[in-house]
C-alpha cells in the first residue's frame, strides 16, 4: 500500500544539511492502523508528508499503491490526494466561509461532482461522526472536537484507501482526543482502510495494530504496541 | 536606527513588489495632483505673460462697445487725461500661406506712440532710430522677429506675402526686432507694420481695433478706468488688458477637473497603502510580539511602522512630483492647443512649478501614507504580546456587516440626487462636481454591504456555472468586503470617467453633426481661415469676391456670411451675419428640415431681414437668460440697438454664445463690408470636387482661400472636440492604471491572507489550475462589478453632473447620446484588466508550497 525504500529527506538549515529522514525502509500494508511515534524532530511529519505525496524524497523511493511518487507530476499527485488519500490535520484546516457539509464535500466538489450527488455521500458521513445536526453551520460555531470530526469526514468523503492524520489529537483535550482516535480506529477496522497517524499521544498506541518509533530520522523500533 | 534597519528596511527589501505598489500608488496620485495644478498655473501664467509681453506698459484697452473698429480720433480724448499714454493698434492674426508656420500676430502701430508702451529692440543706436523707423515702417514694409527671420532665412529686403482681405499683400521685410517684449510671444510669430499700412491691407480705413492705454506712473489701472470711461462715453468699452475669455475659462475648467480626479486618485492610493501596511503588519506580528516581550515599548514598535511607511510615502511623493511635472507638459500642450484653436491667446514658454505646489504635493502624499499606516499600526499595537505569540487555531470569523455604512452611503447618494434635482429646479447651483463627489463617496460606503449581499445571492449560480472555484471566489470577495468595495470603486470610478467623457463626447459630436447637417445647406464654403490651426481667424474677404466665386462654372448659387466678435456682458459673443434670403433659397432647394423650418415663414424671415429680430444660439439663451421673445441690446457703430430674439437654435459655434442676423443690417449698423465665408451650391449634376478645383484655380492668384465641404466642417469639428477631450483621456489612463494596481494589490493580499486555506485546498486535491481559476474568478468578479459600476455611473455622470457643469461653463445643453461601443469596451476592458491583474497573484497562489502554506499563520 505505502512503501518506503531507503528514503532520505534532506532539508537545508541555512547552509547546513539536516536529514529529516535518513534511510527509512518501511512497508505499510492495507487495512492496518499504524501509529508513528517519536520525539520532536524525529522525522514523523516528514514521513507523513512523503507518504501523502505532499513532498518528494531526496533519495530512495516512496511508493503509493505500487507507484513511486517521484514518477508522478504535480497534477497526478494532486489527483492521487483527492481520490485515494484522506488527510486529517492537527489544526483542522476547515474553510471558514463554507458550511460543515460543504467543507466535508470539498474533495468531491473539486472533482466536479454535483451538489446532489455529493450530498448523498456527505450525509451518512456526518451521521457517522455525529454532526448531522450541524451540517449547515459555519465551522466558527463548532468545538475543537467537532471541527476534527468534520475534518475526518472530509478525509473519508472521496472513499480513499489511505487516511493520513498528523497529530489529530494534538489540539484537543484528552476525552475528545480519545473520541477522535476511536473514529479513526473504526475507519481502519470497519471500513478496511489503511490509517497512518503521527502522534505524541501515548494513548494512540492502544488503538494501533502497529507502532513505528522514529528517532533522528531513523526507525528505532517497529512492532505491535 | 538599528531597529529600523532590522525590522523595517529588511522586510521592505524582502517584499519589493508590495513596497513598490505602495510607493507607486502614492506617486500616481501625487503626479495627477501636480500635473493638474501645474497645468492650471502654467496656462494662466502663460496667458498673463503673453498679455503682458504683448501689452507692455499698457494696462487698459479701449474698444468700441460694438466691437467694430475704434475711430482714431478717440485717441485725442484719451490723451487729454494728464500723464496717460495711449497708442492705437490694429491687430490681426493672419496666416502666411507661403511659409506655412501657423498663425502670426500682426500689429499695425503708430511706432512713436507705441514704443512708449511696448519694447521694440532693433539693435540700433537711438540717434539712428528715426531713420531706421522711417524705412522699417514704410507703406510696403513689415517688421519681423529675429526668431521668425532665422527660422525662414529672412533678411532685410526679403519679400513676404501676407494673406489679407484685399488679397495677398506683397510686402518687404524692412526691420528685424530682437527677441524682447512682444517679439518673445508665440515662438516669434509676431510682426509689426505701420498703422496706415495695416488699415490699407486689412481694409479698415481710418479705424483701429483698440487703443492701448498705460496709466500715469503711480496710478492704479482700476482708478483710471472710470475716468477713461467717463471721458469716452458709453459707446466705448474700457477693459483690463488681461481679461480672461470664456474660451480660456473653458480650457482651464477642464484642467481644474483634473484636481478632483487627483484627489480621488490619492484616496485610492491611501487605500492601497493601507492594504499594504495592514498585511505587512500582520506578517510581522510575531516579530513585533517578540520585540514587545523583550522590552520594546508600544511607541517604539508603532514608530517603526509609521517611519517605514512615511518614508515610502515621501519617496513615492517625490517620484510623483517628477512624474507630474513631466505629465503637465503634455496636459499644457493639449490645453493651449484647445484654447488657441478658438482664440490665439496662450503661448506657453515654460512649465511653472511653484514651491507651494511642490511642498504641498510631497506633504500630501507623505501625509496620506502616514495616515494609511496609522490605523493598522495602532490596531496591531493594541494586541498584547502573549496574544500575538499564541497559536492561531480558530478557523476564523464570519464576514463583518456594514449596515451603518450602507445607510450612510444611501443617505449621501440621496443627497447627491437632491443636489442634481436642485439644478433642474433651478435652486442655487453647487456645481455638478459636488454631486459627483457625493455619489462617489456614497457608492463607496454602500458597496461593502452590497458586496456581502451580492456574493451571497450569486453563490448558487457561480457554483453551478463555475463549480467550486466560482463558489470559493464568491466567498473570497465577501471575506473582506470593505477592501473588495474600495477596489471595485477605484476601478469603477476610473471607468466611469472614461464612459462619462466618451458619452459626453459622443453627445457633443452627435449634436454638432445633426446641427451641421441641418444648418449647412451649401456644398462648399470659402473661408480665409486655415482650420487645421484655428477654427476662427480675422481673415476676411471683400464682398466682391462672392460675385467672382458665383461666376465660376458649376456654381449654382451663393450667399455671404460676415462674422464679428461682439462684446456682450463682459464676454465676447459671435455674430454671424448672413444673407438670409440667399440662405433661405439654398435651404428651400435642398428641402428645409427640422430646426430650419421657421425660415420658410416669410413673416419670420421678414423680421430678420428688416433687423427687427435676430436668432440666438441656445447657449446664448442659457448663459445670459435671454429666451425667445426677449429683447437684447447690442452696441453697434451707430450706438446701442435693441433686437428681439425671434428664436433660439441649437448652435455649437462659440462657447460664449452666437447671434445670427441679416447681413445687410450688420453691414449698415457695424459698418463692416467684409465677409468671412462665401457659401456655395453647385449646379445639379455638377461634381463638387471639380467645382472645388475650379474655384481654387480662380482664387489662387489673388487670395488665400480655403474650401470646405460640410463633411470637412464635420471632420474638423470632430477632431477639435477630440483634441479637447484628450485631457480626459490622459486622466482616464492614469486612473484606470491606479484601479488596476488596486485589484492587483487586493488579490496579492487576498492570496496572502488565504495562504493556509490554499495550502489545505491543495492538500485535499485542488490542482494548481483550480487555484489559479479561483483567483482569476475572484478578480473577474471585482472587475465585472467595477465595469458595471463604471458603465452605469459613467452614463449617469454624463447625463447629470457633467452636463450640468457644461451648462454652467458654456451654456450648451447637450442631448445625451449613449456610446454603446464604448460601454462595451469599458466593460470588456474591465474584464481584461481584471484578468491581467490576476495573473501574478494567481501564479503565486498556485505555486505555494503546500507544507509551508498549511503551516502559515
Whether the pLDDT of residue B679 is over 80: the answer is: yes
Whether the pLDDT of residue B390 is over 50: the answer is: no
Q: Within 10 Å of residue B276's Cβ, how many Cβ atoms?
A: 28
What are the chain A neighbours of B759 within 8 Å (beta carbons)?
93
Q: Within 10 Å of residue B271's Cβ, how many Cβ atoms?
A: 25
Contact B68, B637 (CB under 8 A): yes
Selected for mutation to probe chain A from B764, B843, B848, B855 (highest A CB count within 10 Å) is B764
B contact set with A (CB within 8 A) = 391, 393-399, 463, 467-468, 471-472, 475-476, 478-479, 756-757, 759-770, 850-851, 854
pLDDT digits (tens, 9 = 90+) for B617-641: 988 988 888 888 999 999 888 888 9
Put simply, the answer to whether A140 touches B395 (Cβ < 8 Å) is yes
What are the chain A neighbours of B854 within 8 Å (beta carbons)?
89, 93
What are the chain A neighbours of B398 within 8 Å (beta carbons)?
96, 138, 140
More confident residue, B851 or B2: B851
Put simply, the answer to whether A110 touches B761 (Cβ < 8 Å) is yes
pLDDT number for residue B658? 93
Closest CB from A89, A112, A139 relative to B854:
A89
Which of B344-348, B379-383, B697-701 has the weakest average pLDDT? Answer: B344-348
Determine how β-strand B207-208 pairs with β-strand B70-71.
antiparallel
What is the DSSP code string of A6-18? EEEEEEEETTEEE
Closest among A179, A108, A186 to A146, alpha carbons compared: A179
Put simply, the answer to whether A110 touches B765 (Cβ < 8 Å) is yes
**pLDDT grade, residue B533 (50/70/90)?**
low
For residues B123-152, average pLDDT:
91
Q: Which residues of B371-396 are buried (b: 16+ CB within 10 A; e: fewer)?
A: bbbbebbeebbeeebeebeeeeeebb
Please tell me if residue A147 touches chain B, with a CB cutoff of 8 Å.
yes
**pLDDT grade, residue B177 (50/70/90)?**
very high
Closest CB from A74, A82, A96 relative to B768:
A74
Whether the pLDDT of residue B648 is over 90: the answer is: no
Only one residue has cell 501645474, namely B38
pLDDT digits (tens, 9 = 90+) for B485-504: 888 888 888 888 888 888 88
What are the chain A neighbours of B760 within 8 Å (beta carbons)?
89, 93, 95
Whether the pLDDT of residue B127 is over 70: the answer is: yes
Contact B164, B197 (CB under 8 A): no
For residue B721, the distance in angstroms to the closest alpha carbon of chain A comes to 51
CA distances from B795 to B142, B414, B493, B501, B504 (A): 54, 18, 12, 9, 9
For residues B516-542, average pLDDT:
80
Please tell me if residue A54 touches chain B, with a CB cutoff of 8 Å.
yes
For residues B14-33, average pLDDT:
80
Put simply, the answer to whether B768 touches A78 (Cβ < 8 Å) is yes
**pLDDT grade, residue B660 (50/70/90)?**
very high
**pLDDT grade, residue B397 (50/70/90)?**
very low
Closest CB from A91, A112, A139 relative to B467:
A112
For residue A224, the distance in angstroms to the closest alpha carbon of chain B comes to 30
For residue A54, the distance in angstroms to the closest alpha carbon of chain B comes to 7
Whether the pLDDT of residue B345 is over 60: the answer is: no
Contact A33, A210 (CB under 8 A): yes
For residue B279, the distance in angstroms to the closest alpha carbon of chain A comes to 20
What are the chain A neighbours of B467 within 8 Å (beta carbons)?
109, 112
pLDDT digits (tens, 9 = 90+) for A181-197: 999 999 999 999 999 99
Whether the pLDDT of residue B243 is over 70: the answer is: no
pLDDT number for residue B504? 81
Only one residue has cell 472536537, namely A145
**Which span out of A99-113, B685-699, B770-784 was modeled with the highest average pLDDT?**
B770-784
| Bridge partners of residue B163, in order along the sequence | B168
pLDDT number for residue B1? 46
For residue A158, the distance in angstroms to the closest alpha carbon of chain B comes to 10
What are the chain A neighbours of B755 within 8 Å (beta carbons)?
none
Q: How many helices (H) and strands (E) does chain B have?
A: 30, 20
Whether the pLDDT of residue A166 is over 80: the answer is: yes
For residues B526-543, average pLDDT:
76
Whether the pLDDT of residue B51 is over 50: the answer is: yes
For residues B249-258, average pLDDT:
63
Selected for mutation to probe chain B from A91, A104, A173 (highest B CB count within 10 Å) is A91
- What whole-number percentage of chain B has pLDDT above 70? 84
CA distances from B596 to B165, B168, B536, B657 (A): 31, 36, 24, 19
Please tell me the distance from the alpha carbon of residue B643 to that of residue B608, in angstroms, as a whole number: 10
Whether the pLDDT of residue B293 is over 80: the answer is: no
pTM of the model: 0.73
Put simply, the answer to whether B395 touches A96 (Cβ < 8 Å) is yes
pLDDT digits (tens, 9 = 90+) for A125-161: 999 999 999 999 989 889 989 999 999 999 999 999 9
C-alpha triplet B299, B305, B310: angle, nearest 5°: 115
Put simply, the answer to whether B765 touches A92 (Cβ < 8 Å) is no
CA distances from B255 to B41, B183, B337, B436, B554 (A): 10, 28, 13, 17, 48
**Which span out of A112-116, B117-121, B660-664 was modeled with the highest average pLDDT?**
B660-664
What are the chain B neighbours of A109 within 8 Å (beta carbons)?
467-468, 471
Detail the DSSP E strand segments found in B83-195.
Answer: 85-94, 104-109, 141-145, 159-164, 167-177, 190-194
User: Which residues, including other chains, have CB under 8 Å from residue B727's CB and lie 6 or more apart?
Assistant: B254, B255, B258, B331, B334, B335, B338
Put simply, the answer to whether B765 touches A78 (Cβ < 8 Å) is yes
**pLDDT grade, residue B532 (50/70/90)?**
low
Put simply, the answer to whether B398 touches A96 (Cβ < 8 Å) is yes
For residues A5-33, average pLDDT:
89
Put simply, the answer to whether B467 touches A95 (Cβ < 8 Å) is no
pLDDT digits (tens, 9 = 90+) for A52-105: 988 899 999 999 988 999 998 888 888 898 899 999 988 888 888 888 999 999
Put simply, the answer to whether B761 touches A87 (Cβ < 8 Å) is no
Closest among B848, A95, A142, A197 to A105, alpha carbons compared: A95
Please tell me the distance from the alpha carbon of residue B462 to that of residue A24, in angstroms, as a whole number: 47
User: Which residues, including other chains, have CB under 8 Å from residue B583's CB and lie 6 or more apart?
Assistant: B521, B559, B599, B679
pLDDT number for residue B827? 94
Put simply, the answer to whether A87 touches B763 (Cβ < 8 Å) is yes
Put simply, the answer to whether A78 touches B475 (Cβ < 8 Å) is no
Contact B536, B245 (CB under 8 A): no
Please tell me the distance from the alpha carbon of residue B484 to that of residue B784, in angstroms, as a whole number: 12
The mean of the pLDDT values for chain B is: 82
Put simply, the answer to whether A82 touches B850 (Cβ < 8 Å) is no
Put simply, the answer to whether B765 touches A93 (Cβ < 8 Å) is no
User: Which residues, including other chains, have CB under 8 Å from residue A90's CB and lie 6 or more apart?
Assistant: A166, A167, A168, A170, A171
Put simply, the answer to whether B393 touches A171 (Cβ < 8 Å) is yes
SS3 B235: coil
More confident residue, B233 or B678: B678
Residue of B nearest to A52 (CA): B763
Burial environment of residue B569 by CB neighbours within 10 A (0 to 12, 13 to 18, 19 or more): exposed
For residues A171-178, average pLDDT:
87
For residues B39-57, average pLDDT:
78
Put simply, the answer to whether A94 touches B395 (Cβ < 8 Å) is yes
pLDDT number for residue B427? 47
**pLDDT grade, residue B189 (50/70/90)?**
confident
Residue of A nearest to B855 (CA): A91
pLDDT number for residue B783? 93
Determine how β-strand A85-88 pairs with β-strand A162-166.
parallel
The set of cell numbers assigned to A77 is 499527485
Put simply, the answer to whether B763 touches A54 (Cβ < 8 Å) is yes
Put simply, the answer to whether A82 touches B770 (Cβ < 8 Å) is no
pLDDT number for residue B417? 82
Put simply, the answer to whether B475 touches A97 (Cβ < 8 Å) is yes
More confident residue, B54 or A145: A145
What are the chain A neighbours of B397 within 8 Å (beta carbons)?
96, 140
Closest CB from B393, B765, B851 relative to A81:
B765
Whether the pLDDT of residue B394 is over 60: the answer is: no
Whether the pLDDT of residue B194 is over 90: the answer is: yes
pLDDT number for residue B395? 40
Contact B486, B803 (CB under 8 A): no
**pLDDT grade, residue B252 (50/70/90)?**
low
Whether the pLDDT of residue B35 is over 90: the answer is: no
pLDDT number for residue B713? 87
**Which span out of A58-62, B327-331, B445-449 was modeled with the highest average pLDDT?**
A58-62
- What whole-number percentage of chain B has pLDDT above 90? 24
ipTM of the shown complex: 0.84
Whether the pLDDT of residue B524 is over 90: the answer is: yes
Amino acid at each position: 500500500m505505502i512503501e518506503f525504500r531507503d528514503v532520505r529527506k534532506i532539508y537545508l538549515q541555512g547552509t547546513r544539511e539536516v536529514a529529516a529522514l535518513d534511510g527509512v525502509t518501511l512497508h505499510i500494508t492495507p487495512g492496518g492502523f499504524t501509529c508513528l511515534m517519536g520525539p520532536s524532530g524525529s522525522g514523523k511529519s516528514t514521513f507523513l508528508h512523503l507518504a501523502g505525496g505532499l513532498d518528494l524524497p531526496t533519495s530512495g523511493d516512496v511508493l503509493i499503491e505500487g507507484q513511486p511518487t517521484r514518477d508522478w507530476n504535480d497534477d497526478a499527485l494532486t489527483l492521487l490526494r483527492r481520490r485515494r488519500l484522506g488527510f486529517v490535520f492537527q489544526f483542522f484546516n476547515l474553510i471558514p466561509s463554507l458550511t460543515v457539509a460543504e467543507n466535508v464535500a470539498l474533495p468531491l466538489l473539486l472533482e466536479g461532482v454535483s451538489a446532489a450527488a455529493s450530498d448523498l455521500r456527505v450525509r451518512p458521513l456526518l451521521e457517522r461522526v455525529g454532526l448531522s445536526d450541524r451540517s449547515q453551520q459555519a465551522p466558527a460555531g463548532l468545538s475543537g472536537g467537532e471541527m476534527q470530526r468534520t475534518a475526518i469526514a472530509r478525509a473519508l468523503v472521496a472513499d480513499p484507501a489511505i487516511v493520513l492524520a498528523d497529530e489529530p489529537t494534538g489540539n484537543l483535550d484528552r476525552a475528545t482526543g480519545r473520541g477522535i482516535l476511536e473514529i479513526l480506529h473504526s475507519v481502519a477496522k470497519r471500513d478496511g482502510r489503511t490509517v497512518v497517524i503521527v502522534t505524541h499521544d501515548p494513548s494512540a498506541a492502544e488503538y494501533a495494530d502497529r507502532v513505528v518509533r522514529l528517532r533522528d530520522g531513523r526507525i528505532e523500533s517497529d512492532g505491535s504496541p | 536606527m538599528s531597529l529600523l534597519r532590522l525590522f523595517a528596511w529588511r522586510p521592505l527589501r524582502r517584499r519589493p513588489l508590495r513596497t513598490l505598489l505602495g510607493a507607486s500608488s502614492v506617486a500616481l496620485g501625487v503626479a495627477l495632483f501636480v500635473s493638474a495644478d501645474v497645468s492650471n498655473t502654467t496656462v494662466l501664467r502663460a496667458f498673463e505673460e503673453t498679455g503682458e509681453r504683448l501689452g507692455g506698459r499698457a494696462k487698459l484697452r479701449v474698444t468700441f462697445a460694438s466691437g467694430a473698429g475704434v475711430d482714431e480720433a478717440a485717441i485725442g480724448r484719451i490723451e487729454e487725461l494728464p500723464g496717460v499714454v495711449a497708442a492705437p493698434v490694429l491687430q490681426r492674426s493672419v496666416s502666411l500661406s507661403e511659409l506655412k508656420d501657423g498663425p502670426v500676430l500682426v500689429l499695425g502701430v503708430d511706432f512713436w506712440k507705441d514704443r512708449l508702451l511696448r519694447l521694440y529692440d532693433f539693435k540700433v543706436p537711438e540717434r539712428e532710430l528715426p531713420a531706421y523707423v522711417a524705412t522699417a515702417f514704410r507703406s510696403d514694409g513689415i517688421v519681423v522677429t529675429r526668431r521668425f527671420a532665422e527660422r525662414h532665412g529672412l533678411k532685410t529686403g526679403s519679400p513676404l506675402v501676407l494673406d489679407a482681405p484685399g488679397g495677398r499683400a506683397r510686402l518687404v521685410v524692412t526691420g528685424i526686432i530682437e527677441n524682447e517684449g512682444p517679439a518673445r510671444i508665440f515662438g516669434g510669430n509676431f510682426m509689426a507694420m505701420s498703422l496706415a499700412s495695416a488699415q490699407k491691407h486689412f481694409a479698415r480705413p481710418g479705424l483701429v481695433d483698440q487703443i492701448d492705454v498705460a496709466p500715469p506712473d503711480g496710478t492704479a489701472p482700476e482708478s483710471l478706468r472710470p475716468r477713461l470711461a467717463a471721458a469716452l462715453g458709453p459707446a466705448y468699452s474700457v477693459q483690463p488688458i488681461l481679461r480672461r475669455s470664456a474660451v480660456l475659462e473653458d480650457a482651464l475648467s477642464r484642467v481644474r477637473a483634473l484636481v478632483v480626479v487627483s484627489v480621488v486618485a490619492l484616496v485610492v492610493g491611501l487605500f492601497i497603502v493601507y492594504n499594504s501596511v495592514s498585511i505587512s503588519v500582520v506578517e510581522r506580528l510575531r516579530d513585533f510580539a517578540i520585540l514587545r516581550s523583550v522590552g520594546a515599548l508600544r511607541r517604539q514598535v508603532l514608530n517603526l511602522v509609521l517611519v517605514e511607511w512615511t518614508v515610502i510615502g515621501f519617496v513615492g511623493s517625490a517620484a510623483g512630483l517628477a512624474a507630474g511635472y513631466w505629465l503637465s507638459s503634455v496636459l499644457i500642450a493639449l490645453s493651449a492647443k484647445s484654447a488657441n484653436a478658438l482664440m490665439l491667446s496662450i503661448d506657453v514658454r515654460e512649465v511653472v512649478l511653484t514651491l507651494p505646489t511642490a511642498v504641498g504635493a510631497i506633504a500630501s502624499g507623505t501625509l496620506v501614507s502616514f495616515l494609511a499606516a496609522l490605523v493598522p499600526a495602532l490596531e496591531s499595537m493594541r494586541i498584547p504580546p502573549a496574544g500575538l505569540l499564541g497559536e492561531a487555531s480558530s478557523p476564523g470569523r464570519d464576514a463583518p456587516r456594514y449596515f451603518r455604512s450602507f445607510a450612510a452611503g444611501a443617505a449621501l447618494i440621496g443627497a447627491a440626487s437632491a443636489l442634481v434635482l436642485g439644478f433642474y429646479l433651478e435652486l442655487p447651483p453647487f456645481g455638478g462636481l459636488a454631486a459627483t463627489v457625493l455619489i462617489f463617496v456614497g457608492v463607496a460606503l454602500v458597496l461593502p454591504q452590497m458586496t456581502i449581499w451580492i456574493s451571497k445571492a450569486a453563490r448558487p449560480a457561480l457554483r453551478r456555472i463555475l463549480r467550486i472555484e466560482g463558489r470559493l471566489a464568491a466567498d473570497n470577495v465577501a471575506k473582506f468586503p470593505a477592501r473588495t468595495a474600495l477596489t471595485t470603486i477605484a476601478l469603477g470610478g476610473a471607468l466611469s470617467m472614461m464612459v462619462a467623457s466618451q458619452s459626453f463626447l459622443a453627445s457633443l459630436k452627435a449634436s454638432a453633426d445633426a446641427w451641421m447637417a441641418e444648418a449647412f445647406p451649401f456644398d462648399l464654403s470659402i473661408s480665409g481661415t486655415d482650420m487645421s490651426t484655428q477654427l476662427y481667424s480675422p481673415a476676411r474677404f471683400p464682398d466682391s469676391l462672392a460675385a467672382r466665386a458665383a461666376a465660376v462654372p458649376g456654381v449654382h448659387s451663393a450667399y455671404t456670411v460676415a462674422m464679428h466678435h461682439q462684446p456682450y456682458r463682459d464676454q465676447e459673443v459671435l455674430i454671424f451675419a448672413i444673407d438670409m434670403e440667399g440662405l433661405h433659397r439654398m435651404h428651400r432647394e435642398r428641402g428645409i428640415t427640422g430646426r430650419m423650418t421657421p425660415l420658410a415663414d416669410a413673416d419670420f424671415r421678414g423680421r430678420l431681414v428688416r433687423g427687427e429680430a435676430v436668432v440666438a444660439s441656445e447657449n446664448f439663451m442659457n448663459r445670459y437668460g435671454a429666451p425667445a421673445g426677449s429683447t437684447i441690446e447690442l452696441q453697434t457703430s451707430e450706438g446701442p440697438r435693441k433686437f428681439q430674439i425671434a428664436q433660439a437654435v441649437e448652435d455649437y459655434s462659440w462657447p460664449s454664445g452666437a447671434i445670427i442676423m441679416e447681413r445687410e443690417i450688420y453691414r449698415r449698423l457695424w459698418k463692416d463690408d467684409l465677409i468671412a465665408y462665401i457659401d456655395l451650391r453647385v449646379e445639379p449634376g455638377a461634381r463638387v470636387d471639380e467645382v472645388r478645383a475650379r474655384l481654387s484655380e480662380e482664387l489662387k492668384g489673388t487670395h488665400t482661400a480655403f474650401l470646405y465641404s460640410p463633411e470637412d466642417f464635420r471632420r474638423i469639428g470632430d477632431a477639435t472636440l477630440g483634441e479637447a477631450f484628450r485631457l480626459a483621456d490622459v486622466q482616464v489612463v492614469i486612473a484606470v492604471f491606479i484601479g488596476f494596481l488596486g485589484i492587483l494589490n487586493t488579490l496579492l493580499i487576498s492570496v496572502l491572507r488565504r495562504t493556509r486555506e490554499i495550502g489545505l485546498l491543495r492538500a485535499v486535491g485542488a490542482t494548481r489550475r483550480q487555484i489559479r481559476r479561483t483567483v482569476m474568478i475572484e478578480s473577474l468578479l471585482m472587475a465585472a462589478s467595477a465595469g458595471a459600476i463604471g458603465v452605469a455611473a459613467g452614463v449617469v455622470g454624463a447625463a447629470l453632473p457633467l452636463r450640468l457643469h457644461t451648462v454652467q461653463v458654456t451654456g450648451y445643453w447637450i442631448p445625451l447620446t449613449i456610446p454603446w461601443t464604448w460601454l462595451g469596451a469599458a466593460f470588456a476592458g474591465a474584464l481584461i484588466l481584471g484578468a491581467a491583474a490576476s495573473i501574478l497573484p494567481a501564479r503565486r497562489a498556485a505555486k505555494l508550497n503546500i507544507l509551508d502554506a498549511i503551516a502559515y499563520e
